[in-house]
Structures are given as structure tokens and as C-alpha cells.
Structure 1
């Protein structure tokens, strides 16, 4: 199943918008579907959107399920960099708490 971010939200600017996207992805995963999350048409996003749309999925869902069934596509260099940075920061924050 392909989920186009811009079919879920009108823009990718806020944590609330990211949470809507994460909710759609989570529903599809819970129904046993593989998901391609497409950022087609999105040029850039703030960390708040990435944290609530992707990072929360990574840290709240079984990693093996995500590795096997979630693909992120059509991302710009800025979005790729933001995802990497947010995942790294999230991992550092989670290990600091543990």
C-alpha cells in the first residue's frame, strides 16, 4: 500500500500533521499491510513533523515489523537529512533515559 503524505495532510509543517500521517501508517501496519510512505511533492519538513510521523513509529512499534513492511520514498536530501538527524537524536535521548 502506498500512502502519499500529501493525501493525508495538506502540509508537512507541524507535529499534529505528522501524528496524522503516523496514525495512517500504523493502521495499515496493524492490518498486516506493507507500506510505502511517499513524500512526493514535499520539499522540506521541520523536525517536529519527522519526529511525530516517523521517529515515533520507530520507537513505538516493533523494529522487525517496520524493517520488513515500511519503506519511505520520494524524499529530498533535506528530508533524508532530517530523518537521519531525528532518528539519531531520538536514539540518543532514549539511551540517556534508560
Structure 2
């Protein structure tokens, strides 16, 4: 059994994954701008090549966002605190609801 990750471990991994996602977004925005500029200045001669790069990134799962989401869902499932069942007598002084 693997040890439970600490809050600091999970936070560090979340920060890393957000930075990866941000870099992925920067790349895609830059490619979109380049495709747009190609259409404006050279009749779209380079657009097909740039679009093939976007397709390559998509095919190779550049950014790996889905995998990161699954990883955090697994951590939550495997290491979440046990939950008490709902009680009728919850609240201040145990007054009945």
C-alpha cells in the first residue's frame, strides 16, 4: 500500500499540473495567432503546417490534462476522510431538527 500523500504533496502536484496546463494554453494560443497571421499575410500558406502541429499536440496528449484530473480523483477517493452518516440530532446542544 502506498503512503497517503500529504496536503503539501497534493498542493505541489496541483500547482505543477496547473503550470503545465497554462503552458499548453500558451502554445495553443500562439499557434492560433500564427494561423490567423498566415491567413492575413500569406494567404494561409503556412496555416496547414501550423494546424498539423496542433493536431500532433492533440494526438500526443500534450499537456496530459485528463490524466492529471484522473490522478486527483484517485487521490480524493483513496485518501478522503471518512464521513459520518447524517444525524437527526445535529446542531447546537443536540436539539432535534
TM-score of the two chains, using structure 2 as the length reference: 0.29
TM-score of the two chains, using structure 1 as the length reference: 0.29
Which protein has the bigger strand share? 1
Larger radius of gyration: 2
Which protein has the bigger helix share? 2
